[in-house]
Each structure stands twice: as structure tokens, then as C-alpha cells.
Amino acid sequence: MSDTALAARSPLAGLLRPGRQGARGDLPGVVVQERTGLQIVSLAARKGQEVPLMAAVRAAWGIDLPTTPRRVGDARLAFVWSGPSQWLAVATDWPGDLEAALRAHLGGLGSLTDQGDGRVVLRVRGPHARDALAKGMAIDLHPRAFQPGDVAATLAAHIGVQIWQLDEAPTYEMAAFRSTAGSLCDWIVAASAEYGVEIVEPG
Amino acid sequence: MRIACPFCGPRGSEEYTYLGDATVRRPEGDAPSEAWFAYVYLRDNPAGRHRELWYHGAGCRSWLVVERDMRSHDILSVAPARDMALARGRAA
Ligand SMILES: [Zn+2]
């Protein structure tokens, strides 16, 4: 038997090439970036354990788990609502194993599953990000209806996504299943072309 | 047609999967075969209000009970199926 070394490979390797596409202009209307350095773990409260689970998260990280479609936390560790009593923990450059850290504090109160290898996360920002996303999304992204911190589980170009808004640039992040990464990227780049789209190095 | 998910807000029907009649009740295991036949096969087809199970599969993945007018497709109420089951006395 030979030794086999498996290397982690982005689902977008070779698909999302850095550079400018679409309309020319001084500034791109949309900037697209694949997020890297993330750990993603799903969390679901065990039956009847919502209240103690929320107390345990608050005690460990000072975060109030959102009970409506919101994202609470910061770039280091955030909890993204994904359904009643369900969340995604999303951490950037977390030192160590995020699932183990969550399990150490929450074991028994919630069910934890590492989702990091199964998802792709795209950051989409710029003055025309909203216009580009609106071409394939039925939810209202206008600031009166969707603001920084807001989350939606919905469809984008018929692909299931979880989207959250980070700031008023606006900057959005979209998480989707890994196998849909190519289609999702093709769509967002095509939808952004008329505004000028800059694809930046993953980060 | 748009259904207002109690958790996600109003969404198009493309985000949902239709299951069927939300009014039928599973008989007890020792119920007569007529009761099982009715549960499995017999459905009303009302011209008017009806309660149906819909699954918000592209959203929060909740089962919902939707009250709908079959003539106009007006949505009259939407509630989590879990809450309705608990209200009927089913164990959590
Ligand atoms: Zn929903």
C-alpha cells in the first residue's frame, strides 16, 4: 500500500481567476472574493435545551445566540442563524479546532457537526453588489429590508445559500454547498459584468 | 404564490415543498382497517379554506401548516407544524 497525502483543495480552484472582468471603469461595481481560513460548524440545540445552550454560549464567548435571522459576533467568531434553534458558527483564523472548542463548552446541550469542508463562502461587495445579487435572488436586499447583521436562508440563481450582510458598502457573504460553488460563481460574475467586476485573491 | 414563513418572512413558493392535507390524523395502532384506509387514501377536496403541510426546504427547513383558500390561493394563516402538534397535546 502506498502512502497517500490528500491536500485540501478549494472547490473554486481554477474557476475563479483573479482579475477584472466586464465593463471597464475606474472602480469595479462589484468585488468578488472566495473566503479562506474559515472554520464552519453547525450547531443545533438538543430537545428542550435552547435556554441552557444560549446561556453556555454567552458564558463562553459573550455572544447572545440570535433567535431571528441575524448574525451575532465578529470576524473571529460569529453565530449565523440557520433555522429555529439552529446556527452556523463561523470563525476566521481560529487557533485550533473550532468544533472541539465548541464541544468543550456546549457538549450535551447542542449537536455539533463540522461543515468546513462542505461549504464555500463568497464575499460580494461594492456599490453594485446589491444590483447584481438582486438578479438571482427573490428576497428584498434594499436597506429598508436587509441590513448589516441580517441573515437569510434562501435561493440565489436556484442554488440554496445562506447570505448575511457585513456592512453598508454593502458587503455580503454567501455560504453554499461546495458542489454548487462553480455554478454560484459563474452566476455572480455574469450578473456583475455590466457593473465591472474585480475578482480578488482568496483571503 | 408567496407564503410568509413565521421564521424567514415572505418567500416564493419555489422555496417550499408541498406535502398535503394537514388535517388527517394518524390512527392508533389498533384502530380498525377502515380508519387506516381513510388515513392513507381518503382526502377532502374543499372549494375554499384548507389546511396543508408545506416544507420550507430552501429556507429554515421548517414544516409549516398553511391555511389556504383553494379558489383564490389566498394564504389565510401560517404556523409552525410543531407548535400545532404541541397544541393538540402531542408530546414534545
Ligand atoms: Zn422559513
Classify domain B2-91 at the CATH class level. alpha beta
Give pLDDT tens digits for B27-86. 999 999 999 999 999 999 999 999 999 999 999 999 999 999 999 999 999 999 998 888
Distance from CA of A136 to the nearest CA of B (A): 13
CATH 2.70.98.10 fits A26-36+117-199, yes or no: no
> How many residue pairs bridge chain A and chain B with CB atoms within 8 Å of each other?
39
Nearest to A89 by CA among A77, A74, A104, A103: A77
- What pLDDT sits at residue B84? 84
Interchain CB contact of A66 with B (< 8 Å) = no
- How far apart are the CA of A177 and the centre of ligand 1, in A? 18
Distance from CA of A24 to the nearest CA of B (A): 35
**pLDDT band of B91, cuts 50, 70, 90:** low
- What pLDDT sits at residue B88? 81
Q: Which residues 6+ apart lie within 8 Å of B54 measured at CB?
A: B3, B16, B17, B18, B19, B63, B64, B65, B66
- What pLDDT sits at residue A6? 84
Q: Inspect the interface and report whether the beta carbons of A84 and B8 lie closer than 8 Å.
A: no
Strand ordering across the sheet containing A197-199: A19-21, A197-199, A30-34, A119-125, A171-177, A159-167, A151-156
User: Is pLDDT of B92 > 60?
Assistant: no
User: Which residue positions in chain A have pLDDT lower than 50?
Assistant: none
- What pLDDT sits at residue A5? 86
In percent, the amount of chain A with pLDDT more than 90 equals 91
Neighbours of A129 (CB within 10 A): 25
Nearest to B7 among A47, A83, A138 (CB): A83
Strands B49-55 and A119-125: unpaired
Which positions 182-201 of A are in contact with B (Cβ < 8 Å)? none
Q: Inspect the interface and report whether the beta carbons of A84 and B80 lie closer than 8 Å.
A: yes
Residue ranges covered by each domain of chain B: 2-91
Average pLDDT rounded to a whole number, residues B9-34: 95
CATH 3.30.70.1520 fits A38-114, yes or no: yes
- Distance CA(A20)–CA(A200), nearest Å, equals 9
Neighbours of B88 (CB within 10 A): 8
